[in-house]
């Protein structure tokens, strides 16, 4: 429909055609209808910007039509036309969402002022809507991922996001970014203007999950709110319902979800009225869901309905190429947040970050950088700002400076030079490994000059 379109609904052909002609002259795109029924049919197919709606119509009255049009197309502006100033009808129409009213015979000048104002409102609304959509698109959650492993996952995300109701199951260790990926799916999907409702099934008492998800009717159980309550499924209509920690769903909630996934329909607790809505269900867990199925704690059929598409998010250790880009991203983020001037990460700190085994994955990395930025001044984030050891989590948790586990001196004595050489060699090898063979970086880690490092390395034959 081109812009500035108007439907006129009036059973008096003379009045209708007169108005139509006059408005066409003013460059509006106008169509006329003799009954509310025919107009509603056309509006459902192709809603105009504005409807001029006569109140006294044969068949369905203008007041009834107003209610129907407003409920189905709330954005359409409706101006009522009334044969005489019937105050009550006019007031109730205004209450039901009419924009204005004009009295017959219509004064063209007055009507044109109303239309000009209405179309200004419409233009403003459209502009706000376009801005809102642009904002949503531009403010997608910032997802960092350069490794091949995560690129593969994101490729799949881009594909599955396109269909607005395919269920998706996201699996992965704690802190790997499952919720962020769920958000990315939502914002890349055709449902992105709709709500994204997140439910943490583990944080909710099992007995309450069902009523939280599906809502209840009044009097459904003791303590139920008088008016009944809409569930989260309903709140996620035309959007995304994110079920986090699905392994913790109660058996009752599992049955209801299965039915809902199969049919798109559900009943509120204590209700007999069938509700139908469209939403996408994304579920996630860091538990082994197939083990829960095998143990009889999770329904096999529901597992398969959830996992129409299964996304497995690799742990941070399985995508070490992402560590530094993520660390730099978080460094800038927190540097801005805490008004600091960090501009980089020292080579030793980078090496330690790359080497660490990250049991808490991205969340742990993010927290670590946040703490480092908060407690230090920069401009570089140094190894000591991280509170990590160079090889933490891999072999040794001792702090530098802690006394090493030394072999005790036997009565026969020890080979002091060989032991020292071994320790030295171990550190040199470790530093070179962390620095990917770069001597300058390795030297920096050991607080040696590059020359000293080279000299000693040559003496310790066999250091690779």
Ligand X SMILES: Nc1ncnc2c1ncn2[C@@H]1O[C@H](COP(=O)(O)OP(=O)(O)OP(=O)(O)O)[C@@H](O)[C@H]1O
* Binding stretches for Mg ion (CB under 5 A): 179
Q: How far is the CB of 243 from Mg ion (least distance, A)?
A: 11
Cβ atoms of 289 and 254 within 8 Å: the answer is no
Among the listed residues 35, 121, 166, 174, the single contact to ligand X using CB under 6 A: 174
Among Mg ion, ligand X, none, what binds residue 167 when CB lies within 5 to 8 Å by partner kind? none
318 binds ligand X (CB under 6 A): no
Among Mg ion, ligand X, none, what binds residue 177 when CB lies within 5 to 8 Å by partner kind? ligand X
172 binds ligand X (CB under 6 A): yes
Q: How far is the CB of 326 from ligand X (least distance, A)?
A: 6
CA distances from 173 to 189, 233, 300, 429 (A): 25, 26, 21, 31
247 binds ligand X (CB under 6 A): no
Place of tokens 């460094």: 331
Residue closer to Mg ion, measured from CB, 77 or 198: 198
Closest CA to 53 of 45, 343, 38: 38
3-state secondary structure of 80: strand
143 binds ligand X (CB under 6 A): yes
Residue closer to ligand X, measured from CB, 172 or 215: 172
Region at 387 (left for phi over 0; alpha for psi -120 to 50; beta for the rest): left
Among ligand X, Mg ion, none, what binds residue 144 when CB lies within 5 to 8 Å by partner kind? ligand X
Among Mg ion, ligand X, none, what binds residue 231 when CB lies within 5 to 8 Å by partner kind? none
Find all residues with CB under 8 Å of 135, minimum gap 6, and list them. Answer: none
- Rounded Cα distance between 391 and 398, Å, is 10
Of residues 363 through 422, those in contact with ligand X by CB under 6 A are 363, 366
Contact segment (CB under 6 A) with ligand X among 3-11, 26-34, 40-48, 362-370 equals 362-370
- Rounded Cα distance between 171 and 178, Å, is 7
Cβ atoms of 298 and 258 within 8 Å: the answer is no
Among the listed residues 67, 152, 179, 333, the single contact to ligand X using CB under 6 A: 179
Closest CA to 39 of 6, 75, 14: 6
Residue closer to ligand X, measured from CB, 211 or 286: 286
Quick one: tokens of 376?
């230090």
List the beta bridge partners of residue 267: 274
Among the listed residues 89, 93, 147, 176, the single contact to ligand X using CB under 6 A: 176
Q: How far is the CB of 134 from ligand X (least distance, A)?
A: 22
Among the listed residues 232, 362, 390, 434, the single contact to ligand X using CB under 6 A: 362
220 binds ligand X (CB under 6 A): no
Quick one: tokens of 119?
């179309």
Among the listed residues 32, 48, 175, 372, the single contact to ligand X using CB under 6 A: 175
Instruction: Report helix angle 87-95 to 62-72, nearest 10.
Output: 10
3-state secondary structure of 282: strand
Contacts with ligand X, residue ranges (CB under 6 A): 142-145, 172, 174-180, 286, 326, 362-363, 366
């Amino acid at each position: 429909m081109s812009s500035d379109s108007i439907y006129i609904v009036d059973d008096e052909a003379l009045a209708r055609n007169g108005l139509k002609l006059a408005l066409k002259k003013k460059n509006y795109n106008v169509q006329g209808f003799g009954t509310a029924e025919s107009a509603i049919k056309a509006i459902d197919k192709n809603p105009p910007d504005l409807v001029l709606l006569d109140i006294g119509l044969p068949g369905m009255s203008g007041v009834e039509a107003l209610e129907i049009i407003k409920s189905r197309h709330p954005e359409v502006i409706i101006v009522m036309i009334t044969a005489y100033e019937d105050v009550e009808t006019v007031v109730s129409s205004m209450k039901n969402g009419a924009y204005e009213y004009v009295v017959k015979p219509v004064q063209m000048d007055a009507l044109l002022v109303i239309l000009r104002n209405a179309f200004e409102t419409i233009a403003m609304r459209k502009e706000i809507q376009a801005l809102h959509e642009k904002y949503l698109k531009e403010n997608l959650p910032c997802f960092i991922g350069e490794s091949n492993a995560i690129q593969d996952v994101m490729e799949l995300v881009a594909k599955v996001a396109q269909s607005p109701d395919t269920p998706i199951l996201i699996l992965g260790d704690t802190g790997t970014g499952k919720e962020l990926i769920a958000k990315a799916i939502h914002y890349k999907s055709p449902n992105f203007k709709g709500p994204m409702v997140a439910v943490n099934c583990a944080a909710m008492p099992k007995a309450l999950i069902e009523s939280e998800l599906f809502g209840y009717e009044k009097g459904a159980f003791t303590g139920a709110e008088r008016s009944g309550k809409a569930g989260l499924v309903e709140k996620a209509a035309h959007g995304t319902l994110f079920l986090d920690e699905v392994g913790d769903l109660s058996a009752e909630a599992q049955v209801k979800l299965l039915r809902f996934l199969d049919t798109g329909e559900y009943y509120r607790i204590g209700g007999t009225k069938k509700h139908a809505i469209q939403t996408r269900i994304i579920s996630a867990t860091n538990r082994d869901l197939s083990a829960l199925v095998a143990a009889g704690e999770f329904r096999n059929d529901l597992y398969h309905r959830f996992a129409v598409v299964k996304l497995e998010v690799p742990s941070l250790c399985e995508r070490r190429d992402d560590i530094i880009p993520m660390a730099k991203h978080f460094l800038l983020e927190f540097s801005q947040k805490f008004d600091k001037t960090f501009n980089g990460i020292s080579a030793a700190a980078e090496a330690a970050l790359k080497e660490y085994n990250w049991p808490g994955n991205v969340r742990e990395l993010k927290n670590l950088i946040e703490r480092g930025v908060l407690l230090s001044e920069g401009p570089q984030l140094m190894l000591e700002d991280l509170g990590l050891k160079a090889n933490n989590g891999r072999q040794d948790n001792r702090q530098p400076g802690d006394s090493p586990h030394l072999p005790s001196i036997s009565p026969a004595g020890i080979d002091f030079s060989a032991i020292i050489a071994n320790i030295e060699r171990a550190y040199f090898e470790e530093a070179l490994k962390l620095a990917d063979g770069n001597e300058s970086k390795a030297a920096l880690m050991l607080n040696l000059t590059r020359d000293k490092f080279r000299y000693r390395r040559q003496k310790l034959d066999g250091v690779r």
